[in-house]
Structure 1
Amino acid sequence: MCKGDDASCPHFELHHKKLKQDLNAERRGFLKSGLFAASGLAALGAGGISLVTPALAQATISKLPAQRAYHYLPANAETVHWGYFSKSLKPRIEVSSGDIVTIEALTHHASDDLERMIDGDEGAESVYLWTKEKKGVDRRGAGPTDPAKYKKGSGEGQGVHIMTGPVYVRNAEPGDILEVRILDCVPRPSGNPKFSGKSYGSNAAANWGFHYNDLLGGTKREVVTIYEVDIAGGKSWAEAVYNFQWVPQTDPFGVRHDTIDYPGVPVDHSLTNRNFDVLKGVRLPIRPHFGTIGLAPKEADFVDTIPPSYTGGNIDNWRIGKGATMYYPVSVDGALLSVGDPHASQGDSELCGTAIECSLTGTFQLILHKKADLAGTPLQELNYPMLETQTDWLVHGFSYANYLEELGPSAQSDIYSKSSVDRALRDAFRKMRHFLMTTKGLTEDEAISLMSIGVDFGITQVVDGNWGVHAVVKKDIFSARAA
């Protein structure tokens, strides 16, 4: 019987429409899982050691509306902005502190395999639409939108991530802290009936990768590997389907792309040589997470999504997944939260340039902590994105803590030539020292000793313009210490 996957069926259109409705209902099923997960989080700061102290929790709770609302923000051409953050963007939804919102996030690498990651998915199809006449989302990046100035395409690819949002948080003001709890995070199912029950992602070993100028034999190449994820829960790993070497592609507007230099260019696989005999017997544990969650910065109207900064953005830490909490300093009214760059899995460093770039849907609880309530709490002087899990605290260091301010008018171009692991490590050290001294009341000497023997410093990423180093400290180190 046709289930919407047999084009020869006389009732194919009716069956296919029902299939799409069922898929949409499946995606919106996150409501139940998100609310169920949130029910155990009703009391702020309750249980365990948290950056939210009991006093701050009480102050925040007193400001919450009597009723918590639930919101659903799908990803489509009307709800996404591609490749940039902006303080001037019109919000797609407004929420109150304590509300829960489910947000769909599309990978910007779906066009590497249109059949598996775009076809049949109405939201993705609307975003990736690109014909000779128009694009579903024209601007892709923070660069010029005047055809007389750009060469690759509108936005010039100065920023690549498809960001859903922004979300306006009522009463959020500069100086506040936005707490973002990730209640759920799961792969988006393929909309193509041929791949029912599966999700797919792309890993591009690209020209911006750390490896690119160090290939054996000196022959530069970009290789894309497509991975399959089982969303039915039968497998907790991803497996490679095939890989291919990038060959010049001409986009529907007639621009030739010799390298991967502009997001969303449709790959014509009649020109590629796909190798299906790749990474056989290798299982990659999946750890779904969001590479890019951030608030709008105040420094510029259009900010490239690639380099991370003090309001978050493209941190690319695989620990920012289900069960994690992020804290972001608010820079503009409403905070303007956007979510994108979803990953099925990634290792520390993201060495070749990308993770398994795979569309996800996340459920979040957004909690606003007002500046007036932060005095004497661990969040009082927080001016960088911080991650909290059940067991750990993580600070994120960057080559430049706030490159937009530090590098001046040409920051968005200069950052790509000025980053170093040394600078990022120095920033992570300073932030962890500050955290230990202010939050735990350690002296500088105590903090330095503890950092050397009880804090793990790791390379978050070396591919995002503003390189990152994270520092991880276990909460149980302080279990015998008075609060």
Structure 2
Amino acid sequence: MAVHELRAADDATRVGSIDNAYPPTLSIDSGDTVVTQTLTHFNDAITPQTTLEEFIRLKTEVFPDVGAHTLTGPIEVRGARPGDMLRVQILELQVREHGYNFHLPAEFATGLLPEEFPEGRLQHFRHDLAAMTTQLAGVTVPLEPMLGIVAVAPREPGHHGSLRPGSFGGNLDLRDAGAGCALYLPVQVEGALLSVGDGHSRQGHGEVCTSAIETGMSHVVLRVDIVATDEPCGLRAETADAWITLGVDEDLLEASRMAVREMIALLVEHRGMDRADAYALCSVAVDLSVTQIVNGVRGVHARIAKSLLG
């Protein structure tokens, strides 16, 4: 299995857009490893000196028609076809020293409580990379690096803004998507066309104010595999001790239904349970959490301990 290096330079990154027409920046085989990086918003424009006013200018004047995220890729996985799943194992993540958190003024109507925090704010953080902590208002916050965006190209042609997740993955903002996690994404076009970005040094479930501690990743190591399936699958993730299924929809209740339906399918697949027993087990032993509530398309995930499945 080969190891490839993909530098997050201008020819390998794109701001705010996912599109199945974008040509691949790298071609790999199933089982290969990719060593790369991710950049901060607006093509790495956010520095410790950036003000909220400059952030808003970048959003409204420089990049008005796309999302804010900078994506590395797309990466073609030779042999991946619609109907397959793409397993993306996150092996290593290293954050940069600088991070930031923001919420926009109320007129942008972002975040969970825009009317209660109408002025907006951009706050910068220094990561202690030795201790893997940072400080927020006197609170020592342990860092838990993760990737907010892991996406294959959508089957529908045209530009898809990076803000809204979908069946292709994208801006899932799953807190568990750190080193040791594998994400399973339904392949929608030939070659899959994998992109990653939106590095976070720490995020809570929900990401309620709009952002986590956003950061670039100086070192990202991914292993990518094609997984053939007999039946179509939805969005899934796997950690050392749990299986996770994800639902995304503008309606939080529908996202919850999607996550639970996918967990039922996983239990039928892994344990041979009938659907009624799997539904009951979801009520007894599965935890349902809000993944993020701020991306227009909201996310809910269901989690079951692997120890229950044997």
The equivalences for 1:160-179 within 5 A come to 160-179=68-87
Match of 1:362 among 217, 220, 232: 220
Query: Residue 230 of structure 1 aligns to a residue in which SS?
Result: coil
Query: Residue 449 of structure 1 aligns to a residue in which SS?
Result: helix
Show CA shifts across 1:249-293 (max 9, x none): xxxxxxxxxxxxxxxxxxxxxxxxxxxxxx02x111111000001
Match of 2:268 among 434, 437, 461: 437
Residue of structure 2 equivalent to 1:82: 15
Q: CA separation of 1:369/1:434 partners in 2, compared to 1, >3 Å: closer, same or farther?
A: closer
Report the residue type matching 1:78 in the other structure: D
Query: Is 1:446 matched up with 2:273?
Result: no
The answer to whether the 8 A contact 2:40-2:46 is kept is no
Alignment RMSD, CA only?
A: 2.0
Alignment partners' CA distance in 1, 2:27 and 2:119: 45
> Highest CA radius of gyration, 1 or 2?
1
Alignment partners' CA distance in 2, 1:364 and 1:112: 25
Residue of structure 2 equivalent to 1:266: none
Alignment partners' CA distance in 2, 1:173 and 1:353: 34
Show CA shifts across 1:303-339 (max 9, x none): 1111111111000011001011111111111110011
Residue of structure 1 equivalent to 2:5: 72
Query: Is 1:236 matched up with 2:170?
Result: no
The equivalences for 1:383-402 within 5 A come to 384-399=234-249
Show CA shifts across 1:190-228 (max 9, x none): xxxxxxxxx011100224111112x1xxx6110112111
Higher relative contact order (CA 8 A, sep 6+): 2
Report the residue type matching 2:157 in the other structure: A
Residue of structure 2 equivalent to 1:212: 114
Residue of structure 2 equivalent to 1:180: 88
Query: Residue 124 of structure 2 aligns to a residue in which SS?
Result: strand
Show CA shifts across 1:110-158 (max 9, x none): 5443559xxxxxxxxxxxxxxxxxxxxxxx99xxxxxxxxxx4465243
Residue of structure 1 equivalent to 2:66: 158
TM-score, with normalisation over the residues of structure 2? 0.90
The answer to whether the 8 A contact 1:103-1:339 is kept is no
Query: Residue 204 of structure 2 aligns to a residue in which SS?
Result: coil
Report the residue type matching 1:445 in the other structure: A
Q: What residue ranges of structure 1 are gaps of 5+ in the alignment? A: 1-67, 117-139, 142-151, 189-198, 241-278, 400-418
Alignment partners' CA distance in 2, 1:398 and 1:351: 16
Residue of structure 2 equivalent to 1:103: 36
Alignment partners' CA distance in 1, 2:78 and 2:48: 38
Alignment partners' CA distance in 1, 2:149 and 2:36: 13
Alignment partners' CA distance in 2, 1:200 and 1:157: 27
Count of residue correspondences: 298
The answer to whether the 8 A contact 2:87-2:184 is kept is yes
Query: Residue 211 of structure 2 aligns to a residue in which SS?
Result: coil
Cα deviation for residue 78 of structure 1 reads 1.8
The answer to whether the 8 A contact 1:395-1:431 is kept is yes
Q: Identity rate of aligned residues, in percent? A: 31
Q: What residue ranges of structure 2 are gaps of 5+ in the alignment? A: 51-57
Alignment partners' CA distance in 2, 1:426 and 1:355: 26
Show CA shifts across 1:213-248 (max 9, x none): 2x1xxx6110112111122x2x131124xxxxxxxx
The answer to whether the 8 A contact 1:82-1:161 is kept is yes
Report the residue type matching 1:463 in the other structure: V
Report the residue type matching 1:333 in the other structure: E
The answer to whether the 8 A contact 2:102-2:123 is kept is yes
Query: Residue 430 of structure 1 aligns to a residue in which SS?
Result: helix
Residue of structure 1 equivalent to 2:232: 381
Query: Residue 210 of structure 1 aligns to a residue in which SS?
Result: coil
Cα deviation for residue 427 of structure 1 reads 1.7
Alignment partners' CA distance in 1, 2:78 and 2:62: 32
Show CA shifts across 1:418-445 (max 9, x none): x232221122122222222233222233
Cα deviation for residue 93 of structure 1 reads 0.9
Cα deviation for residue 358 of structure 1 reads 0.6
Higher strand content, 1 or 2: 2
The answer to whether the 8 A contact 1:346-1:355 is kept is yes
Alignment partners' CA distance in 1, 2:132 and 2:126: 11
TM-score, with normalisation over the residues of structure 1? 0.59
The answer to whether the 8 A contact 2:206-2:292 is kept is yes
The answer to whether the 8 A contact 2:83-2:232 is kept is no
Alignment partners' CA distance in 2, 1:236 and 1:107: 19
Alignment partners' CA distance in 2, 1:98 and 1:438: 23
Alignment partners' CA distance in 2, 1:157 and 1:463: 18
Alignment partners' CA distance in 1, 2:185 and 2:259: 16
Query: Is 1:477 matched up with 2:308?
Result: yes
The answer to whether the 8 A contact 2:31-2:223 is kept is yes
Residue of structure 1 equivalent to 2:299: 468
Report the residue type matching 2:68 in the other structure: V
Residue of structure 1 equivalent to 2:101: 203
Query: Residue 47 of structure 2 aligns to a residue in which SS?
Result: helix
Alignment partners' CA distance in 2, 1:444 and 1:164: 39
Alignment partners' CA distance in 2, 1:169 and 1:466: 27
Alignment partners' CA distance in 2, 1:394 and 1:436: 11
Residue of structure 2 equivalent to 1:227: 125
Alignment partners' CA distance in 1, 2:160 and 2:62: 15
Cα deviation for residue 448 of structure 1 reads 2.1
